[in-house]
Amino acid sequence: MLPSPPSAFALLRSPRNLAIQFELATQTPSPDHPTVADLPQAVWRNKRYVLDEPLSRKGSKGRKSWIKRHGFFVVEIDTNNSPLSPYWACRLCDAKGQPEFFAAAATSSAADHLRRYENVTWRA
């Protein structure tokens, strides 16, 4: 017996994790001088996010924390495509379909999460 095709609701629903949403969004070419509206976006619980790196100041060295290897630095954007708060989202939780978000101003909460729930340490 053949498997049934996905329902219309399943086709309309956003992918369950951020990584897939960002991957699908980056498959389309972006303009030479992109605005926030042109950046790849992901939606989670009615909030929109873009990756943090394209919004970094020109010449900045970017984020250096070890937690970057285990997640995404994202920025929430409002309905006018203005950047709001930066967050770090756990890649391991995202793969399970339940991303956890932590304020990116400090890495201690994200590091505690990785140690407590994912058994990851900075040496990993």
Sign of dihedral through CA atoms 74, 78, 82, 85? Answer: negative
Tokens for 9, please give them: 């609701």
8 Å CB contact between 83 and 61: no
Q: How remote is the C-alpha of 114 from its chain's centroid?
A: 16
- Rounded CA-CA distance 18/95 in Å is 8
How do the domains of the chain map onto residue ranges? 8-117
Q: Is the pLDDT of residue 55 over 70?
A: no
- Rounded CA-CA distance 124/69 in Å is 9
Overall pTM surpassing 0.85 (yes/no): no
10-26 pLDDT tens trace: 556 656 799 999 988 88
